Structure formats: C-alpha cells, structure tokens
Amino acid sequence: METMTLANGLAIPAVGTGTNTYGKEGNRYHGELNGDFSALRSAIKAGYRLIDTAISYRNESGVGTTILESGIPRKEFYIITKIPAEDAYIGSKDLVEQTVMKSLENLKTDYIDLYLIHHPIKDKEKLKHTWEVLESFVDKGQIKSIGVSNFTIEMLEAVHNFARIQPAVNQIQSNPHTWNHELIDYLLKTNIVPVAWGPVSKVTPEQIDKLDKIAENYGKNWVQVLLRYQIQRGVVVIPKSHTEEHQLSNLELFDFDLTKEDQFVIESL
C-alpha cells in the first residue's frame, strides 16, 4: 500500500474504505442499524487498513468492534472519525471533550489516527474552541492528527489564523461531477492532504465510456483509472463497496501510472 505524508510527518494510506452504509439495513445511509458489518470484515480481509467512519454515521461502535475482532494489531490500522458541527457536540469545550472520549470508547482504542470536523462550523468561537480541544488531544497522544472535512479555502484560512496545529487533511467531494480542482490545488500548495469522498460517485455513462477507453491501455477498469488519477495528483481516496470483488479491484492501483495525456483527459471530464 502506498502512503502519503502529512504535514506532521505521519503517513496516511493512499486508499481506504468508507463505512457510511455499513451495519445498516439495505446498505442505506439512513437505514436502521442491524449490526451486519460483513462488508467491513470483507474489506479488512482484502487488505484495507484505512477505515473512515464518523459520529453521524451512527456506527462507530460497530466499526470499532469489527476492527478489534479482526485480530490484526491496532497499529496496522489507520482510523478516521469525525465530530458533527452541531451544538450537541461542539457547543462547549466540555462537550467537545466528551465527544472525543466517546469516540475513543466506541472505537475501542486508546488513540485515533485522524479526527476531523465533519462540516464547517459557522460560529467562529465554537470553531476555535473545538479546534483547541482537538489540539489538546493531540498533545496527550490520544489523537495523532487533526483536520477538517468539506471546508472551503476561506474556512481553512480562518482556521489557519488561530490554529497552533494546522489541519493535516481536508476531506472533500472529488469526482467527475465535482472535481474541486481549485480547492485541491490550494490544499496541495499549503501542505494539507486532500482526501476524496465519493471518488467514483456521480459518473455519467458518457464519462464511463471515456474512462473505459483509457483503461484499455492499462488492462484496468474505469474505476481503477479514476482512482489512480486522484492518487497520482496527491489525493487520498476512500471508495466504498459492499462486494469483495470490487473491494479487491479498488486496491489494484499501484502497478501502473497514467500518462500526462490521459490525466488531462480525465481532469477535463
């Protein structure tokens, strides 16, 4: 597995698995929790070690149990979770601290690799005290890296103005529907690693046809080509699948390199 290096010198795997529909009826985001984490067990068996979850997914505890029951040493995993931008979680410093402690409990671990603010916090004071609490957990070694999700350039610069520890990551949508080229360029220039959620979502049949033609040159499929494009430009990808075949396929990204010409075609989709 290739890795990328965060601003603090720590490595993050280049590919992970999302979990927002795991453990739920009908594999639906808003589905009732049913405790079925077979898809996560399958992903771990396939070789995924970056596991991305969030409090709002409602499945932190099941994700933590599945990781623990895998029998694989904790140090081999890279666990990401996220705090919601809601007063119930970030209304005060005490609430932020309680939320992080609950994540540690749910995930059955004494440290979390990457803790993100899930969505922008509009109230600047709440943003500041949330960040300060996350920094304090980094100081204690209970969080290794901190970052944000779905933040714009303006929002990132607001954090930069007061942060003692700068964001290591911004997790954003990036796919042919919404590439976010300008934001990703900014992140790469400022040493913030972009992490793409939904990297193979919202792709049209016409775009798939173009990707298929490129994929033929490498003996790959269109999904692999799309994910490889992101990795080559420095973006971590977190695709998600409920099938072992696709999970395995989504890891087969490190035995080819796209030409500059093919990269240009993809970024122009």
From 57, 89, 115, 229, the catalytic residue: 57
Give the whole-angstrom CA distance, residue 159 versus residue 54: 21
CA 164 to chain CA centroid, nearest Å? 23
What is d(CA 212, CA 223) in angstroms, rounded to the nearest whole number? 9
Cα 50 to Cα 75: distance, rounded to the nearest angstrom: 11
Tell me whether residue 186 is one of the annotated catalytic residues: no
DSSP single-letter state for residue 32: P
Residue 62 to residue 29: CA distance in whole angstroms: 15
CA dist 80 → 18, 53, 62, 99, 122 (Å): 10, 6, 14, 14, 23
d(CA 107, CA 68): 9
What is the secondary structure of 55-119 as a DSSP string? GGGT-HHHHHHHHHHT---GGG-EEEEEE-SSHHHHSSHHHHHHHHHHHHHHTT-S-EEEEEE-S
Distance of CA 15 to the CA centre of its chain: 9
Tell me which residues are annotated as active site: 57
